[in-house]
């Protein structure tokens, strides 16, 4: 006959055993996964990594590992610019700005790779202070040990020539974008009434002073030509919440889809090509992508490139 005490004891030890076993199993699985991505693949690092079904920070951890780790991009003592979309005085769940958790995680990761300084800024469309606060990015960056910078002072910008630019012969660019050793571009994926889509390339409009010039003289051409100044070393497209209509500002939650995705690529054009497909529009609908490819800034051919697809949830 089992006494009550014995029964409870058995129940307790059984639960303990299960817990330990589960923990060990998870640990082992993690180790295996880490080992799998640590070994450099024979055909080289993937050109693009797509991650889905995780939290933004989680997907970044998995994605950057698949790309070879942050150490591949950020060398010891490097100065790093992380350029998210902080253009709007909107909260993270409104999908107009980059997820703050993701930005914080990237800053942390760059710091972990022994970066000397990690700067974050965006030439906001709405009032900068409101954008910094509402988006939650300023707080996340500070918590992660990064440095928020402002972009409202023209003195911080430098005029540079765009070699090969037709519409954009010269452009005033924020000094940090030009001077930092590493640039990590962290856009949020949205539809856009003018450029059709805002992702990696469009996000760089936030490092220039006079955006009106782009609108006046050819938005599509200017977006395509700007990376001729400098290509970001890494593009991380936040597609966790995707604004599929009424972008880039959005009118309400009806404009958003929860896609829980992330696209990481050193190739800015390839990142935008994958973003267009994620947004659900044809490559041809976003004229600047092919134009940028024509300028030799990257490839649009997702089929010919090494694309790694990881589902965190599976």
Partner 1 sequence: MIRNLRFLSQAAFFALSLAVFFGLAAWPSAAAFQSATQIMPALSGVRWLDLPRFWPVLGLLFVLPLLAGRLYCSWYCPVGFLQDAAGRLAKALRFSAKPADGRSALRYFAFGLAWALLLSGSAAFHFLDHSSSLGSLYGLLGLAWAQRSFDAISGHGTVFALVLLAVPLVRARWFCAALCPTGCAFMLMRRWALFKTRTGPGCAVKAGGRAPRPPSGRALAVGCAACGACSRACPVRCVDEGSIDESRCVDCLECVSECRSGYLAYSLQWPWQATAPKPEPDPVDLRPTGRRRFLIAAGAVAVGALTGRRLRAGILSFPPGEPRDGIPPGGRSADEFYSRCVACGTCASVCPTRILAQKGASPLAGMGQARMDYGSLACSYECNACLAVCPSGALSYFPPQVKKRIKIGSSILKKERCIPIAHGRDCAACHERCPTGAISMAPHQKVRKPKLDDDYCIGCGACEAACPVQPEKAIVVRPRRLHSFAFIPRPSMRKAVGLQDIPRPEDDAFPF
Which residues are at the interface with partner 1 (CB under 8 A)?
50, 52, 89, 125-127, 129-130, 191-196, 211-216, 218-220, 244-252, 254-255, 257-259, 273-274, 277-281, 285, 287, 302, 307, 309
Q: In whole angstroms, how close is the CB of 115 to partner 1 at the nearest point?
A: 30
Closest to partner 1 by CB, 103 or 134: 134
Other beta carbons within 10 angstroms of residue 7's beta carbon come to 10
Closest CA relative to residue 151, chosen from 222, 247, 83? 83
Closest to partner 1 by CB, 34 or 251: 251
What is the sign of the dihedral through the CA atoms of 241, 245, 246 and 252? negative
Q: In whole angstroms, how close is the CB of 194 to partner 1 at the nearest point?
A: 3
Closest CA relative to residue 298, chosen from 204, 242, 233? 233
Closest to partner 1 by CB, 11 or 285: 285
Q: In whole angstroms, how close is the CB of 60 to partner 1 at the nearest point?
A: 17
Which residues is 82 bridged to in the sheet? Answer: 120, 184
Q: In whole angstroms, how close is the CB of 235 to partner 1 at the nearest point?
A: 14
Closest to partner 1 by CB, 257 or 295: 257
Q: In whole angstroms, how close is the CB of 81 to partner 1 at the nearest point?
A: 24
Residue 56 token pair: 């933004």
Question: Exposure pattern of 143-158 as b/e (b: 16+ CB <10 Å)?
Answer: ebebebbebeeeebbe
Rounded Cα gap, residues 72 and 67, in angstroms = 8
Closest to partner 1 by CB, 80 or 207: 207
């Amino acid at each position: 006959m089992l006494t009550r005490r014995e029964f409870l004891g058995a129940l307790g030890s059984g639960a303990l055993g299960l817990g330990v076993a589960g923990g060990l199993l998870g640990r082992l699985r993690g180790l295996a996964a880490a080992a799998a991505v640590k070994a450099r693949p024979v055909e080289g690092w993937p050109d693009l990594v797509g991650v889905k079904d995780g939290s933004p920070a989680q997907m970044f951890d998995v994605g950057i590992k698949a790309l070879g780790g942050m150490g591949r991009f950020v060398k010891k003592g490097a100065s790093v610019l992380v350029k998210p979309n902080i253009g709007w005085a909107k909260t993270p769940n409104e999908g107009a700005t980059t997820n703050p958790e993701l930005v914080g995680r990237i800053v942390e990761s760059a710091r972990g790779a022994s970066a000397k300084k990690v700067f974050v800024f965006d030439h906001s469309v709405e009032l900068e202070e409101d954008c910094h606060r509402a988006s939650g990015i300023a707080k996340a960056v500070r918590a992660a040990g990064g440095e928020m910078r402002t972009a409202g002072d023209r003195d911080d910008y430098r005029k540079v020539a765009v070699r090969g630019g037709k519409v954009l012969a010269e452009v005033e660019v924020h000094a940090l974008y030009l001077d930092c050793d590493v640039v990590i571009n962290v856009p949020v994926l949205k539809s856009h009434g003018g450029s059709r889509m805002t992702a990696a390339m469009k996000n760089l409009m936030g490092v220039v002073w006079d955006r009106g010039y782009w609108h006046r003289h050819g938005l599509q051409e200017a977006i395509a030509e700007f990376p001729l100044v400098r290509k970001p070393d890494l593009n991380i497209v936040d597609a966790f919440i995707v604004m599929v209509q009424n972008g880039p500002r959005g009118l309400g939650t009806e404009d958003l889809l929860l896609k829980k995705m992330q696209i990481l690529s050193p190739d800015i054009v390839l990142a935008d090509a994958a973003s267009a497909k994620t947004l659900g529009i044809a490559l041809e609908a976003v004229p600047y992508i092919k134009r940028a490819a024509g300028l030799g800034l990257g490839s649009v051919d997702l089929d010919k490139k090494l694309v790694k697809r990881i589902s965190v949830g599976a």
